[in-house]
Chains A and B, each alone.
Chain A
Amino acid sequence: MTELSTIYKLSLVTFICFIKACSSSSCPVLECWFVQEKTGRGGGLTGATSQEKSLLHIRTDAHSHTTKSQQAPSDINPDRVYSITDPAATLCHHSLNPPRGSVEKPQCEINPFSPQPSDLKWVAPLTDSGLSPIYLEADWFSTSLQGLNKQVAISTIMRAPTATKEHNVILSVTSNTVSVQSRLGEPVLLDCGFWVDSSSPLSGSGFAVEWRYQFRGDGRLVLAYDGKTDRLADAKEKGATLDFEGLHEKGNASLILQEAEVRHSGMYICSVYLPHIVAQVTLELEVVEPPSVSIYPSPLPLAVQGQTLTAQCEASGFAPLSLELSWEFQGIDGKSRPLGSGSVTGHRQAWDGTYSQSSRLELDTTKLDLGRGGEVICVAVHLGGKRQASVTLNIIGFSTPSIEDSMGMVGVAVVLYGLIKFVSWTFTSSGSDVAGQQEKKDK
């Protein structure tokens, strides 16, 4: 599956490249923010930044004519108009080239970059041999882009011989799955691929790939691989692998999680290191599992008219949080009507990170016009979809008085009988003060 899609992608890229060769017009002219930090204060978060509008002309072949003939908008400083040679045509992705006049724009930022060796265990071997510093003495830039509707995220490192504005993409890292949703327990593919300019001296000295998880204060190294020495760093994450063959042959750095768990939800950073340079893209994984819903007791006991029944609806095993529980009643006539949400409990989290929540419904057969019964339905609306369960409600004895009523009637009858008997007996024998007074009042 993975390989197939990569092959498909590659062939697509080749196809696009082929098209490009004929007419390089579909590579976009990208509007981009040129952001750089003013030097100075070290401690502040971003320091003072300057942000200027910039224009990037993309071409796949350094010798082809660019679309530079196009007039640059007057609000863009001509010094911030760059032409970029991207042989892999990564920057020609269709989602970076929206139709004219569209409100949504792809996001693009270009920053000055300074090559640095890294001390990371899995990256340090790349700079062991030392490298001609002359090559590094140039203007370096990084760009990060995001296509429309999060279709693609791209990050590139570019080199321009000093004081020229002719940039060459040296490294590009791309993800076609910027936002991934997965069901619980399913295998997950977090796409990340990279391309290295093979003519660059940096290309022969190996690479390293690092995957990190970071979400709401919680972070961990998922996987780190040193491609030069073919070594994996100790990472605590179980069930996370790479397609090593695809990695070395095609730059397929995609992360495979064997089984999606709730704790996997969050941001994943795919970083690809070459000696002295690095580029990263961020992906978001959301593990979404709808609840399983059941009603207790099932079946419901026979209800006598006037009785109140209690039904419990349990929605369990869902993630992420936020669930809406509600009850419905569907009569024998097929008409359904809402019964409200009942008494909803707080949520509980299970060992696997999934949540459960329940709702209790009091079914008052006198107040609610339920007729002779029907279906009582519990509906759970969740990000992962709507789930429901139902039980049959049977109401018997339409006009039969309830047990309490019968008991009351018997009681009243007994007391009344006693009273009559007693009074009549009293009066027939000798009469009483009370009776005498009553008699006077009556008269």
Chain B
Amino acid sequence: MKMKMLLFLLLLGIVGPHCTSARTHSMKYFYTGSSGVPKLPEFVSVGLVDDVEMTHYDSNTKRAEPKQDWMKNITDEVPQYWERNTQISLGNQQVFKVDIEIVKQRLNQTGGVHIFQQMYGCDWDDETGEVKGYNHYGFDGEDFLVLDLETETWIAPRREAVLTKQKWENDKALMAQLKNYFTHICPEYLKKYVNLGRSVLMRTEIPSVSLLQKSPSSPVSCHATGFYPDRAAMFWTRDGEEFHHNVDHGEILPNHDGSFQMSVDLDVSSFPAEHWDKYRCVFQLSGVKEDHVIVLDPAVIRSNRGNPLLLPLIIGAAVAALALLLAGIGFLVYRKRNANKKPLSAASSAELTERLNQPPQ
């Protein structure tokens, strides 16, 4: 009970008012052309905003479709949005069908499974207005050609891509077109999408934070789950100072519901018990001013394994209970038998006694 109270109070501490904060938003398109993969459509185009899928097109459906409810309202701003995107994707599908064959030929890859991909998009900081564009081509999981907008050059990590690098770098009109797309058009659309999906994309979700420990010898894991967005920090402090020794940081991982989780482990095995209260786990979420702080207290640590010392106690208790039960039954039987006293022939009684007294075989 006391423990629950403490947790409740700790949670109360952070559930204060919180405002939406400055964030970096992103829009990304992934085009995937494949050959030799039976169940995968030859061409798939997926659009993401803040890493949430918003549009989808593939060579089977041949239609650009919304993947989020809020994306359906894009037609209020761009009436022909879905028709136009369907046309663009149909065109890209044709280009990719040709491109994957050309790349395969260039790399001397004939049969087998091959994947040719393009990933492009932009990041936009809604506070500073800074925009960063990117445009990558990949073949079979490795970079093939990458646009460097800063130097207006193409990076060709494979020698087979150098020819295309030279061709595109000599095409000043193409570079101007790309520059315009990545610095103007891309962020413009990104702003539209973020605005449409703001109730989902700009939300802030506070996680539940707990201290977990597998066994008394395991590290104590400070675990936060259910937070959004995924811009969060978590660390341990000792006497208010950030503490790095004996600390193992986990990655931020996605939950099935779109929220995130993370954990930071602290190896407590060398800490004397009286020093535990010097340690605190701190969780910070982008856009939330208050830190979520938990004191390292054995009482709040959750563990799914019982105290090993309990086991003999449980066995002892069980034995005692059994003995009491037997004694109870015995007493009842005794009482009952005493109630209806029935004379028993001495012979049979003696016989029974004799039989009972027989030594065990």
Q: Taking beta carbons and an 8 Å cutoff, which residues of A are in contact with B?
A: 35, 37, 42-49, 51, 109, 111, 113-114, 116, 119-121, 142, 144, 146, 153, 155, 212, 214-217, 219, 267, 269, 280-282, 348-349, 351, 407, 411, 414-415, 418, 420, 422-424, 426-428, 430-436, 439
Q: Which 4 A-B pairs have the closest CB atoms?
A: A431-B344, A144-B159, A267-B157, A45-B99
Chain B contact residues: helix, strand, loop or mixed:
helix
Nearest residue, chain A, Cβ from B346: A431
Contact B326 A439 (CB under 8 A): no
Contact of A116 among B99, B169, B351 (CB under 8 A): B169
Contact of A427 among B105, B249, B315, B352 (CB under 8 A): B352
Q: Mark B24-39, 1 if CB is under 8 A from A, else 0.
A: 0000000000000000
Contact A114 B166 (CB under 8 A): yes
Contact B143 A215 (CB under 8 A): yes
Nearest residue, chain B, Cβ from A43: B174
Contact B353 A45 (CB under 8 A): no
The minimal Cβ–Cβ distance linking B102 to chain A, given in whole angstroms, is: 5
* A142-B162, A269-B157, A351-B249 known; A427+B349 contact, CB < 8 A: yes
Contact B356 A423 (CB under 8 A): yes
Contact B98 A267 (CB under 8 A): no
Chain A contact residues: helix, strand, loop or mixed:
mixed
Q: Taking beta carbons and an 8 Å cutoff, which residues of B are in contact with A?
A: 95, 98-99, 102-103, 105-106, 119, 136-138, 141-143, 145-146, 148, 151-153, 155-160, 162-164, 166-167, 169-171, 173-174, 248-251, 315, 319, 322-323, 326, 330, 333-334, 337-338, 340-344, 348-349, 351-353, 356-357
Contact B352 A430 (CB under 8 A): no
Q: Which residues of A contact B102 (CB under 8 A)?
A: 45-46, 48-49
* A44-B99, A269-B155 known; A439+B170 contact, CB < 8 A: no
Contact A212 B155 (CB under 8 A): yes
Contact B353 A280 (CB under 8 A): no
Contact A114 B99 (CB under 8 A): no
In angstroms, Cα B167 to Cα A35, docked, is 13
In angstroms, Cα B250 to Cα A434, docked, is 67
A-B contact pairs, 12 of them (CB 8 A): A47-B167, A120-B153, A267-B157, A280-B159, A281-B159, A407-B315, A428-B353, A430-B338, A430-B342, A432-B337, A433-B337, A435-B344
Contact of A42 among B98, B105, B171 (CB under 8 A): B171
Contact B143 A439 (CB under 8 A): no
The minimal Cβ–Cβ distance linking B83 to chain A, given in whole angstroms, is: 21
Nearest residue, chain A, Cβ from B96: A45
Contact B341 A45 (CB under 8 A): no
Contact of B319 among A35, A411, A431, A435 (CB under 8 A): A411
Contact B167 A37 (CB under 8 A): yes
The minimal Cβ–Cβ distance linking A90 to chain B, given in whole angstroms, is: 16
Q: Which residues of A contact B344 (CB under 8 A)?
A: 427, 430-431, 435-436
The minimal Cβ–Cβ distance linking A203 to chain B, given in whole angstroms, is: 22
Q: Which residues of B contact A426 (CB under 8 A)?
A: 333-334, 337
Contact A415 B356 (CB under 8 A): no
* A45-B102, A46-B99, A155-B159 known; A435+B315 contact, CB < 8 A: no
Pick the most buried of B119, B145, B170, B330: most chain A CB atoms within 10 A of its CB.
B330
In angstroms, Cα B149 to Cα A219, docked, is 12
Contact A217 B119 (CB under 8 A): yes
Q: Which residues of B contact A424 (CB under 8 A)?
A: 353, 356-357
Q: Which residues of A contact B357 (CB under 8 A)?
A: 424
Nearest residue, chain B, Cβ from A296: B217
Nearest residue, chain B, Cβ from A349: B251
Q: Which residues of A contact B322 (CB under 8 A)?
A: 411, 415
Q: Which residues of A contact B138 (CB under 8 A)?
A: 217
Q: Which residues of B contact A35 (CB under 8 A)?
A: 106, 163
* A215-B143, A424-B353 known; A280+B156 contact, CB < 8 A: yes
The minimal Cβ–Cβ distance linking B48 to chain A, given in whole angstroms, is: 15
In angstroms, Cα B353 to Cα A144, docked, is 106
Q: Which residues of B contact A111 (CB under 8 A)?
A: 162-163, 166
